[in-house]
Chain A
Amino acid sequence: MQKYLCTFQLGIQNAMEYRANFLLSMVSAVWPTFIQFFLWTSIYRGDTAAVINGYTYVQIIAYTLMANIVSRLIRTGFEYEINEDIKNGGLNKFIVKPVDYFCYKLSSFLGQKLIQTAFLLLLIGGVLLLLRLRFGMALDLLRIGVFFLSLLLAFCLNFMIFFSVGMMAFWLFEVGFLFEAIRIVIIMLSGGIFPLDIFGAGVSRALGFLPFKYTISFPVELINSRLEPFALGRGLLVQIFWIILLTGIARLLWRAGSKRYVAVGG
């Protein structure tokens, strides 16, 4: 346990090192929200009571703000590190040392995300306050509590998804921009850009059978009051189900991949 705690602390220090970079990445994350805010405002212009594609103006603004923050909150980046480790022989040290790679990556990731997460959670609190006071959205404490629980599960789920994506590097000769292409598609299917309803009812329902929706769309729709209590409870269970299933898949991939692994380099 001690060793993973150290990794966690190293992760924090790592994140602290590039502070300017962190701040600027936050600034560039504001643009999409800004663009989408103007887009929706101009579409609903003068008619804030209108319901377009199932959303009122307040709901779509809440969705835009929240989805952008949540997708930033759960975002990973370690799939490139995994690829590096596999391609350049970084895994060697895990073969000879009593350190589990999965736990190592998890604790390092948690450390790296800690400060950003704290910052984003504060931001979410601010947005919730804004929605309540400025837009008069109905929010009770129970719903907010369940929302944060679903965020935690979404965070774990997304970690598992991208850890499995990273495992692909065992089989691919060269990764190139593949991870970036996969990331864009996953964000889209998670509802990180627009609500999933814009894909149409059929596709939207089909996406319910994949794990991606439960990382962004589900928590955001939850706070948006667009889910009934039943759907809400079911969603949480589906999140847990996918986390367990993907953990199993990642383990299998890891075991199969390790057999293929050729220790390159020193």
Chain B
Amino acid sequence: MREALSEMKKHGYLYGLFLKNSLIAQLEYRANFITGILMECGYLVVKILYVVVFYISGKTVNGLSPDASLLFIGTFVTITGFYAGLFMMNFFELRHQINSGSMDLLITKPVSLQFILTLRRADVGIMAVDILAGLVMVAVGWSRLKIPFDLVNALGFLGFLCGGAVVGYALFLLPQICSFWFIETSAISEVTDAFWDFNLVPMLVYDRLIQRIGTFVLPIFVVTNFPALFVLGRMNRIYIIWGIAAPFLMLGLTRLFWNYAVRHYTSASS
């Protein structure tokens, strides 16, 4: 037990260092840092356009008022900040690390290989833009809907937010693990990247069948919809249980697949 705790402490400390190093490296290449933020702002405006569509139509869509849609899209923007800022770059680089053989060096380090390969780099600028804008959108939607800001709602929202980020990490890492077998997986990245945008609109907009598949089979909707569904009181018991179980299940699944892949790894170079 004590060993596990000290391992966690070590990884936590390391993660702090990773973040710091990423920020320092980014500030060195300032043009990339600033234009990266500009680009993310552009994407953000596109997401806000979707909110505008809901407000202009002024209709209640499947029981969702425009304010409720704002809450959903705000949550989506926040979690996109986590994904684009903390995970995405590492996932896209995974292929390169494996193909070039630079992974070999990392295998020898006394830390978890998955940890160092999938969390080492971060884009703090992009993350800040999205999380800040997302939380403002959530706050505006929340107060306009007059949802009481109590402990249950706040903890539920935060809990499902973190759970969603974990499911996002696991779900989008899974296809990238195929890089251990295939050399060219840039096509996979392109398709999964577009797949992320399914949450641009609340899941309630889609057909019932698509909702089921997206929740239980390919849990893309679990990534960003559950926090808003919870505070709107639209989660039944099955959803709540699934919302709590899915992050653990998905992370476990990814972990199993990762270990399986690493066991079959044959070094690229030398």
- By a beta-carbon cutoff of 8 Å, the part of chain A in contact with chain B is 20-21, 24-25, 27-29, 31-32, 35, 38-39, 42-43, 45, 52-53, 172-178, 180-181, 184-185, 188, 193-194, 198
Contacts and interface: CB of A to CB of B under 8 A. Distances in A.
Given A24-B191, A35-B198, 16 more contacts: A21-B186, A28-B191, A31-B197, A31-B198, A32-B194, A38-B207, A42-B204, A43-B53, A173-B31, A175-B35, A176-B35, A180-B42, A181-B39, A184-B39, A194-B49, A198-B52
Given A174-B31, A181-B41, A198-B56, A39 B50 contact: yes
Contact of B38 (A43, A45, A178, A194): A178
19 contacts: A31-B195, A31-B197, A32-B194, A35-B198, A38-B207, A43-B57, A45-B62, A52-B56, A173-B31, A174-B29, A177-B38, A178-B31, A178-B35, A178-B38, A178-B39, A180-B39, A184-B45, A188-B42, A188-B46
Given A194-B53, A198-B49, A185 B34 contact: no
A191 to B, nearest CB: 11
Contacts of A193: 46, 49
Contacts of A35: 197-198, 200-201
Contacts of B204: 42
A181 B49 contact: no
A135 B57 CA distance: 22
B46 A184 contact: yes
Given A176-B31, A198-B52, A38 B205 contact: yes
Contacts of A188: 42, 45-46, 49
Contacts of B207: 38
Contact of B36 (A21, A24, A43, A177): A177
B193 A53 contact: no
A39 B194 contact: no
Contacts of A180: 35, 39, 42
A188 B44 CA distance: 12
Interface string B8-49: 000000000000000000000101101110110111011001
A173 B205 CA distance: 45
A209 B44 CA distance: 25
Contacts of A25: 190
B112 to A, nearest CB: 31
Interface string B55-79: 0110101100000000000000000
B39 A45 contact: no
Given A31-B197, A43-B57, A38 B206 contact: yes
B187 interface: yes
A45 B61 CA distance: 8
B39 A53 contact: no
A259 B50 CA distance: 44
B35 A177 contact: yes
Contacts of B205: 38-39, 42
A188 B31 CA distance: 24
A239 to B, nearest CB: 25
Contacts of A52: 56-57, 59
Interface in B164-216: 186-187, 190-191, 193-195, 197-198, 200-201, 204-207, 210
A28 B193 CA distance: 8
A184 B38 CA distance: 10
Contact of B190 (A28, A174, A176, A198): A28
In the A-B complex, the 3 residue pairs with the smallest Cβ-Cβ separation, listed nearest first, are A176-B35, A184-B42, A174-B31
A83 to B, nearest CB: 12
A32 B62 CA distance: 21
A94 to B, nearest CB: 26
Nearest to B42: A184
A181 B44 CA distance: 11
A169 to B, nearest CB: 12
B53 A198 contact: yes
A27 B198 contact: no
Contacts of B46: 184, 188, 193
A74 to B, nearest CB: 18
Contacts of B35: 175-178, 180-181
B160 to A, nearest CB: 22
Contacts of A28: 190-191, 193-194
